[in-house]
């Protein structure tokens, strides 16, 4: 039979070439301009208007990576990437993704690849111990963990489970009735507002609670707002607390917030997307103080734990609440293992039905580095951030714009917003490093996020020199 | 500085080994038991209870693939996989995933890797022409395409955009007001019910419209239900029509449904997750007749177009409707390119904020096969399904349970449900092939989905022989 498939020998050859290309890319990455210098439409203008009728030699395709793709890449894996939060990666994670693609399994239910489900459950149980999280998040109890694509999806699933717990599944049945109210801090991630909209709650029913001088949620303000809403006859049901906000890495006080949620019977979701990884080291485990009050929790190994995007670990205290919320069982998915009740079917733990075998990369990363190796690199990033913060403090032209509890340093030039913006643009356009900004107390602040896998002291030192030089030349 | 990272040389070595392992796996896959014979808990019992403190040699990790993982794999890439719908793959797609992992970019906004956004927009525009879809789905007009993880997520995004169009964005602002009603057929995918629940609409406000003898939605019944709901003072807003239902591959009549949606001003979403790929060949493009009425459309290259899961292509006629629904712009994501309006920021086109570079695998697949190669294999699958259907019809012990317009054949043994279930279990337990079931008109039917990339005539012929032999031995 005629076939257009690539032969096994061709696959081996091109696969080896591509592995070597990636090794070379990672070796030279720190010399590439971090922020892509491509202009809008530049890549599209270089691509043919129509798909090819006939297949093309794979050598041509691979050659186009350097010619067409690389100029349009912002190099997240560069050690000079200090923007946003990192989306860091590592060689074992890349190999885990390769294996996942090579196996090509779709783990929507246990039976469609038991290993895909069981490895995920197992590794997520490992992580409960690795991060010092409460045992009730383990699958051996009433809870359990699942890999989601992102913390945005975890927040949505938490919000939905909370909505259904509060409404006794009536919302799922007949839709939103009355006014349900959710709470988070004014510094929380935009995904909470997005989730509230998606879930039919309405953005006006999300209360953005005031923060203190460290940009952390004020529990008294939360309690007051809940009381005021109850007085209005509204239905409070959900609080999202953040362990390490995106803007400035502020830590909401979980013990006080948790006590309020317990007293008021509200679902507490803890978003530790970036910072959760720090708890690998006992000395930073204080960030999880109070997490025992949480109904759900997430952190992203794809941010700071060397696991290629996407990999968000989402835990619930009661898997029944989550499954009752999202479960759908059409006839064509019925099977013996599911009916036996002895297995987990992860399709009921998130929005999509289908799912990739993402536990492989997480398993590879944990086994390759060991807890020791992960701790080492994460602690090192925090040390580098402290060093950077001390340099900022020692330079009278600059100030810290917020506390820097872990690996994010928010700082600003004292010259005002325009100077900071010019400084940032100049640095980013140089291609030598990439950092981004936020606003704190209405004023621009630059964000130096130190968490890229390959970032070493020399990169941070060089970045600070460039920041100083650019500040100098702006005067 | 001390480092636990894998060196470039080690990465090359293990990468080559893994590429070779995948090539070997794919060469021997048809001899492996298709449905995993693993028992619940078997893998977990073989894994250490705790994560390792010290890193382990990568050779040990790779050795565990054969020892631990393979027994727990249901081989979706086996040519003897006829279950569910395929989640097929190919060598170029695997290489595309490898490159995506190797680059490790996160394309939430244009600036964070222009190539990630522009290649996606470009390839999705290509596909509009390749499938004969309306030009308004192209980014050059008012619409555009985006890669989602699954058709479930596309359905949810379509439903949300419809909800906001109907409520003039009031739902996003203040939450669901009154009763909004959605419509789909009784044969539609479970993801529609899931989406309706998530969006706060309520499952009771999803009308499951009756189907005709071919399991396709009855447009007259739809029109009657809409009228009845309007009479009750409810607000109809959304219809999902399916081009190729999951249960039996039924084709809802788009022209008639589309006219009703136009007249009633309802959002029409067309779910062609599996079958859309058939439109690559002009002779099967009739499946898209009437799609010009659609407000949104999706199909999954990860089902039948050789592109490793996940890759669902979602199109909207008005990207403004979608973006207005899902857009969030916190300060830390503000940037010059976005403010200029000259670029697409895909974060506003779906639920998650972050996103992988999934367009690479789609680009690799299209360029490697060319339109000609894709057409060849897809047409061949349809031919094989027709052949299989003719064998069923020629055997008096069996009957077709539904029309087989493309690559799914629903059939049953005339002995009744118990016989069909026993037949299916015996076949699946043999490991020689894997097929699943559904219920049609209240009776069990076996589903033979022919779309795995490597499936050839000999696999289908052998499957039919085994089905006949098993039927024989059941007597």
pLDDT of residue A123: 98
CB of A366 within 8 Å of a chain B CB? The answer is yes
Q: CA of A374: which chain B residue's CA is closest?
A: B4
Could you tell me what percent of chain B has a pLDDT over 70? 100
User: How many CA atoms lie less than 13 Å away from A193 in the CB half-sphere?
Assistant: 20
DSSP percent split of chain B into helix, strand, coil, nearest 5: 50, 15, 35
Tokens 């927009």 sit on residue = B121
Residues A311 and A300 sit within 8 Å (Cβ to Cβ): yes
pLDDT tens across B88-111, in order?
Answer: 999 999 999 999 999 999 999 999
Cβ proximity of A236 and A226 under 8 Å: yes
| CA B326 – CA A247 distance, rounded (Å) | 21
Tokens encoding B36? 């995993």
Residue of B nearest to A8 (CA): B23
Q: Is the separation of the CB atoms in B75 and B30 below 8 Å?
A: no
pLDDT of residue B474: 83
- Measured between beta carbons, which residues in chain B are less than 8 angstroms from residue A330? 189-190, 246-247
Token representation of residue A379 = 């602690």
Q: What's the pLDDT at A333?
A: 77
**Is 80 exceeded by the pLDDT of residue B333?**
no
Question: Computed from CA positions of residues A148, A154, A157, A158, in that sequence, does the dihedral angle turn out positive or negative?
Answer: positive
CA angle A379, A380, A386 (to 5 degrees): 90
Total CB pairs under 8 A between chain A and B = 522
Q: B18 to chain A: which residues are within 8 Å by CB?
A: 95, 98-99, 102
Instruction: Tell me: pLDDT of B337 over 90.
Output: no
| Burial (CB count <10 Å: 0-12, 13-18, 19+), residue B45 | exposed
User: What pLDDT score does A349 carry?
Assistant: 97
CB contact (8 A) between residue B11 and residue A21 = no
Q: Which residue of A has its CA nearest to B41?
A: A118
Closest partner residue to B22 among A3, A102, A325, by Cβ? A102
Helices B219-231 and B254-264 pack at an angle, to 10 degrees, of 20
Q: Alpha-carbon distance B309 to A116, whole Å?
A: 14
Identify the pLDDT of residue A339.
77
Surface of B (380-419) touching A: CB under 8 A = 380
B404-441 pLDDT, tens per residue? 999 999 999 999 999 999 999 999 999 999 999 999 99
Q: Does B429 touch chain A (CB under 8 A)?
A: no
Helix (H) or strand (E) holding A446: strand A443-449
In this structure, the dihedral spanned by the alpha carbons of residues B117, B195, B174 and B339, taken in order and rounded to 10 degrees, is 0
Residue in chain B nearest A101 by alpha carbon: B94
* Predicted confidence (pLDDT) at residue B1 exceeds the cutoff of 70: no
Comparing alpha-carbon positions, the chain B residue that sits nearest to A446 is B332
Pairwise CA distance, residues A6 & B369, whole Å: 9
Distance CA(B365)–CA(A12), nearest Å, equals 17
Q: Is the peptide bond before B432 cis (omega within 30 degrees of 0)?
A: no
Q: Which positions in chain A touch B89 (Cβ < 8 Å)?
A: 101, 104
How much of chain B exceeds pLDDT 90, in percent?
Answer: 95
With left for phi above 0 and alpha for psi between -120 and 50, is residue B244 left, alpha or beta?
left
Beta carbons within 8 Å of A445's beta carbon, 6+ residues apart: A248, A401, A402, A410, A411, A412, A420, A437, A438, A439
Q: Which residues of B touch A456 (CB under 8 A)?
A: 1
Low-confidence residues of chain A, pLDDT below 50? Answer: none
Q: Output the six-digit token pair for B407.
A: 């690559």
Q: Using a CB–CB cutoff of 8 Å, tell me whether A208 touches chain B.
A: no
- Which of A40, A199, A203 is the closest to B342 by Cβ? A40
Q: Answer yes or no: are the C-beta atoms of A428 and A35 closer than 8 Å.
A: yes
B29 to chain A: nearest residue by CA? A103
Task: Compare CB distances from B352 to A50, A149, A160 and report the shortest one's residue.
Answer: A149
Going from the C-alpha of B253 to that of each of B186, B258, B420, the distances in angstroms are 14, 8, 31
Q: Which tokens go with A63?
A: 């050659």
Closest CA to A240 of A214, A222, A263, A264: A222
| Domains of chain B, earliest start first | 8-31+36-73 (1.20.1340.10), 105-356 (3.40.640.10), 364-474 (3.90.1150.10)
| Cβ within 8 Å of A, B 29-88 | 35-36, 38, 40-44, 47, 50-56, 58, 60-61, 65, 68-77, 83-84, 87-88
pTM above 0.90, yes or no: yes
B434 CB neighbour count, 10 Å cutoff: 25
Is B170 exposed, middle or buried, given 0-12, 13-18 or 19+ CB atoms closer than 10 A? middle
pLDDT-based confidence at residue B148 (cuts at 50, 70, 90): very high
Which candidate in A154, A180, A352, A378 is best for mutational testing of the B interface (most B CBs within 10 A)?
A352
Q: Which residues pair with B447 in a beta bridge?
A: B410, B436
Q: For B105, which residue in chain A has the nearest alpha carbon? A: A76
What pLDDT was estimated at residue A336?
Answer: 82
Interface test with B, best of A60, A98, A246 (most B CBs within 10 A): A98
Backbone Cα Rg of chain A: 24
| ipTM exceeds 0.90, yes or no | yes
CA distance A190 to B327: 10
């Amino acid at each position: 039979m005629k076939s257009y498939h690539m032969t096994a020998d061709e696959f081996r050859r091109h696969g080896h070439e591509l592995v070597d290309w990636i090794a070379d890319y990672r070796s030279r990455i720190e010399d590439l301009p971090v922020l892509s210098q491509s202009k809008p439409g530049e890549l599209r203008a270089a691509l043919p208007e129509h798909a090819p009728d006939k297949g093309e030699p794979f050598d041509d395709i691979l050659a186009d990576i350097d010619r067409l793709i690389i100029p349009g890449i912002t190099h997240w894996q560069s050690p000079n990437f200090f923007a946003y939060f990192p989306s860091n990666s590592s060689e074992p994670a890349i190999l885990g993704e390769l294996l996942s693609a090579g196996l090509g399994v779709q783990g929507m239910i246990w039976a469609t690849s038991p290993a895909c489900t069981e490895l995920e459950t197992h590794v997520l149980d490992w992580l409960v111990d690795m991060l010092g999280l409460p045992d009730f998040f383990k699958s051996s109890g009433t809870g359990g963990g699942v890999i989601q694509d992102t913390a945005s999806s975890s927040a949505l699933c938490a919000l939905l489970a909370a909505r259904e717990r509060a409404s006794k599944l009536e919302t799922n049945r007949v839709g939103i009735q009355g006014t349900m109210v959710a709470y988070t801090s004014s510094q929380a991630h935009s995904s909470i507002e997005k989730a509230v909209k998606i879930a039919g709650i309405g953005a006006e029913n999300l209360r953005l609670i005031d923060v203190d001088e460290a940009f952390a949620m004020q529990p008294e303000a939360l309690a007051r707002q809940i009381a005021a809403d109850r007085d209005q006859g509204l239905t409070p049901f959900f609080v999202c607390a953040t362990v390490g906000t995106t803007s400035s890495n502020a830590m909401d006080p979980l013990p006080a917030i948790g006590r309020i949620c317990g007293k008021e019977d509200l679902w507490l979701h803890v978003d530790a997307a970036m910072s959760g990884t720090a708890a690998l080291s006992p000395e930073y485990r204080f960030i999880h103080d109070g997490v025992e009050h949480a109904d759900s929790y997430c952190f992203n190994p794809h941010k700071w734990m060397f696991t290629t995007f996407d990999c968000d670990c989402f835990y619930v205290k009661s898997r029944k609440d989550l499954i009752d919320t999202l479960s759908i069982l059409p006839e064509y998915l019925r099977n013996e293992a599911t009916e036996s009740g002895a297995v987990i079917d992860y399709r009921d733990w998130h929005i999509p039905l289908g799912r990739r075998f993402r536990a492989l990369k997480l398993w590879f990363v944990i086994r390759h580095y060991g807890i020791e190796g992960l701790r080492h690199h994460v602690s090192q990033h925090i040390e580098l951030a402290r060093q950077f913060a001390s340099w900022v403090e020692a330079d009278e032209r600059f100030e810290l714009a917020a506390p820097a509890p872990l690996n994010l340093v928010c700082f600003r030039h004292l010259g005002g917003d325009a100077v900071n913006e010019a400084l940032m643009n100049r640095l980013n356009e140089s291609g030598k490093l990439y950092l981004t900004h936020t606003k704190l107390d209405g004023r621009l602040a630059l964000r130096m996020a130190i968490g890229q896998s390959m970032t070493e002291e020399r990169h941070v030192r060089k970045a600070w020199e460039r920041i100083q030089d650019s500040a100098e030349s702006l005067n």
